[in-house]
Amino acid sequence: MWPLLLACLALMLAGVALAVDSALLWQARQELQVAADASALAAVQELADDQLLLHREGYMQRAIRRSLLVPSEIGHKHHVLGVPQVIDTNDPTLPDVVVGYYDPAIAGIQPATPSEWDSPFINALQVTARRTRDRNTSVGLFFTRLFQLPSADVAASATAVIDSHIVGFRPLGQINVPVMPIGLLSDPTGIDESSWEAQIDKPLSAGISGCSIKPASNGTKSASTARWAMACLSSLLSCPSQKRWKTPMAAYSSSASRRVPQ
């Protein structure tokens, strides 16, 4: 009777030990994921520099070098089990930060060698936050030490991508798009009725007190809807009467954004 009771007690203690250490590893994994996500998003913003639009030699290399400095700073601000996370960008065998090309076929990143860092097609950055035995930062366990397992390796990765193929948004349904367009249709002649000059500059120069903004027709396939939304926003700043811009603003409605391919 007593041997069976002791065996059951040992199994119960082993189950409790496994549950406690599993919860610890899960917490470490979640905190590493947060650190990796934040570091990747912050670093990839360096690849969105306006200077890269000039396609000058050396600009992309400088942007990549700046982006490699960001994860270490951001990672140190995130604590994993109470300890600041270290993201090593100088490890030649297992770097924590990889720059390259995003491949939709594999839903992952194709690494770029330093000799390719001047390529204008580099658009992705992957950050891996690690707690491993090789770096003496593994996650210490409690009860599994009894089974000769004092610690465990944990890692989490995140990939951030700059998608340069988005050119606009189309309205779908009756739900507003929570985006701010960053492009305007400009026609200095004012012939195009959807242009900024025709809808904003011409009425103001004519001395009209109110502003009349009308959307592009539903049949258009261009990104003029987004430009019209920006024109409506501008009318808020330029029209003295709130009632004059309220109607066209209320008439603009669309659903969650859908990408328009080039």
Q: Which residue has the higher pLDDT, 261 or 87?
A: 87
User: Quick one: what percent of the chain has pLDDT higher than 70?
Assistant: 71
Tokens, residue 210: 């109110």
**Residue 14 confidence (pLDDT):** 72
Q: Closest Cα to residue 236, out of 226, 224, 248?
A: 248
Grade residue 205 by pLDDT with cuts at 50, 70 and 90. low
Grade residue 74 by pLDDT with cuts at 50, 70 and 90. very high
Condensed to tens digits (0 to 9), the pLDDT of residues 83-130 reads 999 999 888 788 899 999 998 888 889 999 989 998 888 999 999 999
- Mean pLDDT computed over every residue of the chain: 75
Q: What CA–CA distance (Å, rounded) separates 160 from 46?
A: 11
Asked if 146 and 159 count as a contact pair (C-beta separation under 8 A), the reply is: no
Mean pLDDT computed over 225-240: 47
Question: What is the DSSP-derived secondary structure letter of residue 47?
Answer: G
**Residue 72 confidence (pLDDT):** 92
Model confidence, pTM? 0.61
Does residue 158 carry a pLDDT above 70? yes
Grade residue 206 by pLDDT with cuts at 50, 70 and 90. low
Asked if 118 and 61 count as a contact pair (C-beta separation under 8 A), the reply is: yes
Asked if 156 and 87 count as a contact pair (C-beta separation under 8 A), the reply is: no
**Residue 181 confidence (pLDDT):** 58
Mean pLDDT computed over 192-196: 79
Burial of 33 (0-12, 13-18, 19+ CB in 10 A): middle
Mean pLDDT computed over 26-30: 94
Query: Identity (one letter) of the amino acid at 136?
Result: N
Tokens, residue 6: 């002791």
Question: Tokens 């913003």 appear where?
Answer: 45
